[in-house]
Amino acid sequence: MLFGKKKKDQAKRPSTIREAMAEESEDQVEITEAEAGQNDDAVVASEDAAGEDVPAAQDSAEEPAAPETTPQDVSEITSKKGYVDFGALLVPAAKDQKVRLDIDQKSKRVVSLTIAVGASSIQLQAFSAPKSGGIWQDVRQQIEESVVKQKGRVKQVDGPFGRELHARVPTVLKDGRKGWRAARFIGFEGSRWFLRGVIGGRGAIDRQAAQGVEELFSKLVVVRGDEPLPPRELLKLSPPAGAKRVVAPRRSPQSAQGSAQSTQAGSGASTQQTTGSNRTSNRTNGVPQQAQGPGQQ
């Protein structure tokens, strides 16, 4: 397992966090850290190529089958073996899977996980929810309003986990031209918790390319805990126990401003951690950083 933290100004000397985790899987999963709100894997295009309609996930000649399972509560599993433990989320270890821990720079808290599978990625957050449910419906409406305020476009469609949002938001391309960023917002409500995922990369516009992240989402396990929490409280995420930090290569031009480190252990997963949003509260409306335009983080 790889885990590390990227600093903008200087690199820390690699150090052992705890003893390496006992090997439970032969698969390799890389774990790293990055700045909250960073999204290197989004699908972008120029305004000329964007057209007028929201870029919906394309239907292939053969529509991919929906996953046979759905996210579970920790009370529904008998063992954590085979999972990478991120506190509120247990992630099934898989070969060549890359997991990034998105870190709030001010509070130093992990605010989300971003997992890359092939050409697609998914950002994950788990929240407390009332027993009566209904959180996802409210969150969809708020995400839609947020996208529209940013002069983006969004529409609701039926997906493998129920209603989901397909959106595009304005962005600036690397060559300075105005463009758009595509994303799929999916959600699932469990026992007093709500799991929200944002699919990026090729999976935002291609259902076939999204199969890997959809399958992963369906196998996630949520650990809410028994303590009373107000609705929409972000459930605490944390780096996996055990790992030693080793220098990891930078993944994007933006990261060239700083240095990256990662941690290796024997669980078989790879994670990246990001730092740098201005959140000061654990409360949130579930609208992820990808729904925010430039300068709105």
Of the pLDDT bands very low, low, confident and very high (cuts 50, 70, 90), residue 53 is low
Q: Which residue has the tokens 């506190």?
A: 87
At residue 108, the pLDDT reads 86
CB 161 within 8 A of CB 70: yes
Tokens found for residue 158: 């039926």
CB 254 within 8 A of CB 6: no
Instruction: Report, as an integer, the average pLDDT of 175-200.
Output: 94
Pairing of strands 221-222, 72-73: parallel
Instruction: Report, as an integer, the average pLDDT of 151-178.
Output: 93
At residue 48, the pLDDT reads 56
Domain ranges of the chain: 28-50+68-239
Q: Which residues contact 41 (CB under 8 A, 6 or more apart)?
A: 114, 116, 120, 121, 200, 201
Task: Give the lowest-confidence range in 136-145, 158-167, 245-254.
Answer: 245-254
Q: Cα(91)–Cα(121) distance, rounded to whole angstroms?
A: 14
- The pLDDT tens digits for 206-250 are 999 999 999 999 999 999 999 999 999 999 999 887 644 433 344
Quickly count helices (H) and strands (E) in the chain: 3, 17
Q: Cα(195)–Cα(52) distance, rounded to whole angstroms?
A: 31
At residue 193, the pLDDT reads 97
Percent of the chain with pLDDT strictly greater than 90: 48
Instruction: Report, as an integer, the average pLDDT of 147-158.
Output: 95
Q: How far is CA 37 from CA 1, 94, 208, 223, 290, in A?
A: 23, 25, 26, 24, 7
Write out the H or E segment, with its range, that includes residue 119.
none
Q: Cα(197)–Cα(52) distance, rounded to whole angstroms?
A: 25
At residue 242, the pLDDT reads 64
Q: Which amino acid is at 189?
A: E
Instruction: Report, as an integer, the average pLDDT of 42-60.
Output: 53
CB 251 within 8 A of CB 148: no
The answer, yes or no, to whether residue 63 has pLDDT greater than 50, is yes
- The pLDDT tens digits for 167-186 are 999 998 888 888 889 999 99
**b/e burial code for range 3-27 (CB count within 10 A of at least 16 → b):** bbbbeeeeeeeeeeeeebbeebbeb
At residue 207, the pLDDT reads 92
Q: What burial class does residue 62 get, using C-beta atoms within 10 Å of its C-beta: 0-12 exposed, 13-18 middle, 19+ buried?
A: exposed
CB 248 within 8 A of CB 4: yes
At residue 239, the pLDDT reads 87
Instruction: Report, as an integer, the average pLDDT of 250-264.
Output: 37
- The pLDDT tens digits for 64-115 are 777 889 999 999 999 999 999 999 999 998 887 889 899 898 888 999 999 9
Instruction: Report, as an integer, the average pLDDT of 8-28.
Output: 37
